[in-house]
């Protein structure tokens, strides 16, 4: 009796209990079991289709975000290269200005180098 109580607790409306003697199972119970199985298969297919659609939408969204990020990276790399070139040109100009100052003012006016005076 306690076994029947425990078994009935775990049964759901979509589960058909297994009959001990299959020869005495009426045809309508077999039809009912077959229909239940088909319903469960249709539900599972619907869930799988929904999951697949959501996965595809997520993949498309992430793909778009990746393309956007790659475009931004390319833009920033181009800007970084431009700034690198500008910095190199500025450094060359600083070197040219330094050399000109040294040649015109420090070496050109006196034969001895100018030293800082201490007080």
- Residue 114 near residue 106 (C-beta atoms within 8 A): yes
Residue 19 three-state SS: coil
| Number of Cα atoms under 13 Å in the Cβ half of residue 68 | 6
pLDDT of residue 119: 42
Tell which residue, 43, 41, 35, has the closest CA to residue 16. Answer: 35
Sequence-ordered list of residues with C-beta below 8 angstroms from that of 16, at least 6 positions apart, any chain:
29, 32, 33, 36
In this predicted structure, what is the pLDDT of residue 107?
80
- What's the confidence (pLDDT) of residue 18? 60
Q: For 68-95, what is each residue's pLDDT tens digit?
A: 999 999 999 999 999 999 999 999 999 9
Residue with tokens 């595809």: 56
* Model confidence band, residue 21 (pLDDT cutoffs 50, 70, 90): low
pLDDT tens digits, residue range 88-112?
999 999 999 999 999 998 886 555 5
Domain boundaries defined on the chain: 23-107
- Give me 52's structure tokens: 């697949």
pTM (predicted TM-score): 0.49
- Residue (of 14, 19, 44) closest to 32 by Cα position: 14
């Amino acid at each position: 009796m306690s076994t029947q109580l425990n078994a009935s607790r775990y049964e759901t409306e979509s589960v058909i209990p297994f009959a001990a003697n299959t020869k005495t199972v009426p045809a309508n119970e077999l039809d009912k079991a077959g229909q239940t199985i088909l319903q469960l298969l249709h539900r599972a297919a619907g869930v799988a289709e929904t999951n697949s659609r959501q996965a595809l939408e997520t993949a498309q969204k992430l793909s778009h975000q990746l393309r956007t990020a790659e475009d931004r990276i390319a833009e920033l790399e181009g800007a970084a290269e431009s700034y690198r070139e500008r910095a190199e040109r500025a450094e060359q100009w600083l070197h040219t200005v330094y050399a000109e100052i040294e040649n015109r003012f420090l070496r050109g006016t006196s034969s001895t180098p100018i030293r800082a005076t201490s007080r």
